[in-house]
Amino acid sequence: MSEHAVELVRVDKHFGTVVAVDTVSLSIRNGEFYSLLGPSGCGKTTTLRLIAGFEMPTAGQVYIDGELQGETPPYRRPVNTVFQNYALFPHMSVFQNVAFGLEMRHVSKEVIQHSVFEVLEMVQLPGMERRRPGQLSGGQQQRVALARALVNHPKVLLLDEPLGALDLKLRKAMQLELKALQERVGITFIYVTHDQEEALTMSDRIAVMNKGQVLQIGTPEEIYERPASRFVADFIGETNFLEGKVAAVRNGEVAVEIGDALLVYAPLERDAVVGDTVVIAVRPEKISLSTTPEDPRALPGVVREVVYVGTDTRYLAELAGQVTVMVREQNLAEETARRLSAGTAVYVCWQPQSARLLRG
Amino acid sequence: MKPRSRRDTWRLLVLIAPSLFWLLIFFLVPLVMVLVISFGQRGTYGGIVWDFTLSNYARFFDPLYLRIFGRTAGIALATTVICLVGGYPMAYFIATRPPRWRNTLLLLLMIPFWTNFLIRTYAWLLILRDQGLVNMVWTGAVHNLFLHLATAYPAATLFSSLAGLTSVPLELFGTNGAIIVGLVYAWLPDMVLPCYAAIERLDFSLVEAAQDLYANRVKSFLRVVLPLTMPGLVAGSVLVFIPALGAYVTPDLLGGAKSIMIGNVIYSQFMSARDYPFGSAISFVLMAIMLIATLIYFRLGSD
């Protein structure tokens, strides 16, 4: 058994002149819940199809369980897919759908019978064997699709936006259920999604993609707390971007001048010299507002807008009449929700290590 | 759905009146006439003697007519099978092209049918007869080639026997084969179009799902594509089989005097033998057989 369930080595996929996947390299470990996250058209589904064998790479290699796949057709790969629209066979019953893969591999009738009932139990669909897919709700169809793939005990399960067609509440419930299921069966999951929250909730690791390229690979915390680029910071969660020029570099810290004489600080996580154009990224929930200057680095500003959103309150604060930052404050007590009003003069500050230095 | 008021009932009647009228005058009345005539008898001078007899139906079971009917059924079946084997892949090919190509390909399929049916069938006569296009090449170029080879290699007796074989024209015209060629040519689009409609509607992610579940190309076709496009295939087969079973023009032109089909028998009963009752009886038997065959076929196809 190879350490990696799936490895992609400098894989390219071109459709005519369109580059769908551009030198993508991934190493997905055994038993990992791995998400490919990106906006639509970023190449994440094509990457999944390259692993499944529905597409063959223009260049580069795909390894599954240590074996080079080359031109191996999908029906000879030890992977199974849960399709975006489920792709259940409409002319077959739930039982026949789930049994299909086992039947194709000439598993005996008794074993098929046993396995199908077991897996339907696992996805909480017992007693539905005789139904046709058309008689099931979206959520039930989703479970059948999952059962149909899992019953084969694949090396790797590929999921292409499997929760995309479900309503929000069901989707949230299924996210947790899928994660629990994955931990129980111990199969490697490769999960394609454009929903950053879904990826953060479920994944062990995430590969963020855009325009066919992988921009960053990391745990949800790494991706969220230390985005490697402006795109990643912007795509995952909300971020304030402060553009400016490096004014000073000292003690592992960089001071950036944004606008006119407004200095902000960030840890020096990448090379920067005085005069470089850079971007400082700060998450709204890392910023605090106070009416007194508690921190010497606090920036003076004015509250411009207050929006109450239940769990927290969002403020728009204008810094020295030049830049606007978004601030999120959790509503710990009822009175904190109405602490500040528009027009209040405030001091805006954040921990230096909360700010990220990114290329301009 | 039940009409809720008298007004709805009237509206419904007004709406279906034209088609009802059309069916009554041009379908039901002639049908009843044929049925009534089929129980009559041929008069001495060709008229109809109105007494009730089943003798016309009994006469259909004469070996002479049974043989013709057997041949007719065989030809119609062969035509359907050939149309199926040729038409389904054609439909599959067209349906799997990029959308902008599909209409062009369908148009190309239809273009020959802008020409009159009689003329198209007559063209086949010019191709298949003894002095026709095929035999011109056979007894001309092919014959000359073997003659040439036979003189060049006198030791190889194969060439001289082939030269002998090609010296006489192939017997193409006036055979069942000629009729089948003509019928396949005439009814192929009626097979391709319903098959195309079914395949075009097919969700090809289902094929990917089958392949993902270890079904190779053949198995994914047999287990997924074929069952899901079966309605188109059944419709196409019925659309080809029924006109082929009742064919008249094609066997008349391409079958010569030897190969006749049941349609020609019916024609001759009405036009030459002037035996309207017997012609009517054959028509009714044919209709009953078509009906039964179609029902059985639809039942099989819907499984």
pLDDT reported for residue A274: 87
Question: For the residues A332-342, what does the mean pLDDT come to?
Answer: 74
Two structure tokens written together for B87 = 């038409």
pLDDT reported for residue A13: 96
pLDDT reading at A203 higher than 60: yes
Is residue B37 included in any domain, yes or no?
Answer: no
Residue % of chain A over a pLDDT of 70: 98
Question: CB distance A101–B216 less than 8 Å?
Answer: no
CA-based nearest residue to A101, from A63, A166, A160, A145? A145
Percent helix / strand / coil, chain A, rounded to 5: 30, 35, 35
Two structure tokens written together for B157 = 């007796």
Question: CB distance A101–B213 less than 8 Å?
Answer: yes
Is residue B19 included in any domain, yes or no?
Answer: no
Give the whole-angstrom CA distance, residue A203 versus residue A185. 15
Question: CB distance A83–B224 less than 8 Å?
Answer: no
pLDDT reading at B1 higher than 60: no
* CATH number of the domain where residue B94 is located: 1.10.3720.10
Question: For the residues A76-105, what does the mean pLDDT come to?
Answer: 95
pLDDT reading at A60 higher than 80: yes
Is residue B43 included in any domain, yes or no?
Answer: no
Mean pLDDT across chain A:
91
Nearest residue of chain B to residue A83 (CA atoms): B209
Question: What type of residue is B147?
Answer: L
How many domains would you assign to chain B?
1
Least Cα separation, residue B222 to chain A (angstroms): 12
Q: Where are the domains of chain A?
A: 4-234, 238-359
Q: What is the DSSP string of A78-115?
A: SEEEE-TT----TTS-HHHHHHHHHHHTT--HHHHHHH
Beta strands in chain A (DSSP E): 4-15, 18-29, 33-37, 59-64, 67-68, 79-82, 156-160, 188-193, 205-210, 213-218, 240-250, 253-258, 262-267, 277-282, 288-290, 299-308, 312-319, 323-330, 345-349, 356-359
Question: CB distance A75–B212 less than 8 Å?
Answer: yes
Question: CB distance A100–B216 less than 8 Å?
Answer: no
Q: What is the DSSP string of B117-156?
A: HHHHHHHHHHHHSTTSHHHHHIIIIIHHHHHHHHHH-TT-
Between strands A188-193 and A156-160, the pairing is parallel
| Any B CB within 8 A of A245 CB | no
Two structure tokens written together for B169 = 């024209």
pLDDT reported for residue B4: 64
pLDDT reading at A184 higher than 60: yes
In the block, tokens 């039964």 appear at B292
Best residue of A83, A89, A142 to probe chain B, by most B CBs closer than 10 Å: A89
Question: CB distance B214–A75 less than 8 Å?
Answer: yes
pLDDT reported for residue A337: 59
Between strands A323-330 and A312-319, the pairing is antiparallel
| Any B CB within 8 A of A15 CB | no
Q: Which residues of A touch B229 (CB under 8 A)?
A: none
Tens-digit pLDDT profile for residues A228-284: 999 999 999 899 999 988 988 888 888 898 877 788 888 888 888 888 889 999 999
Between strands A345-349 and A299-308, the pairing is antiparallel
Is residue B302 included in any domain, yes or no?
Answer: yes
Question: For the residues B183-212, what does the mean pLDDT come to?
Answer: 95
CA-based nearest residue to A207, from A218, A197, A196, A198? A218
The answer to whether domain A238-359 has CATH 3.40.50.300 is no
- Name A254's bridge partners: A249, A266
CA-based nearest residue to B208, from A13, A106, A55? A55
In the CATH scheme, what is the code of domain A4-234? 3.40.50.300
Give the whole-angstrom CA distance, residue A192 versus residue A211. 15
Question: For the residues A2-11, what does the mean pLDDT come to?
Answer: 92
Tell me the residue range of the domain where B270 lies: 58-114+176-303
Question: Model confidence at B303, in pLDDT bands (50, 70, 90)?
Answer: low
Dihedral sign computed on CA atoms, order B186, B191, B192, B197: positive
Q: Which SS3 state, helix, strand or coil, does residue B47 take?
A: coil
Question: For the residues B34-46, what does the mean pLDDT come to?
Answer: 86
Residues found in chain A? 360
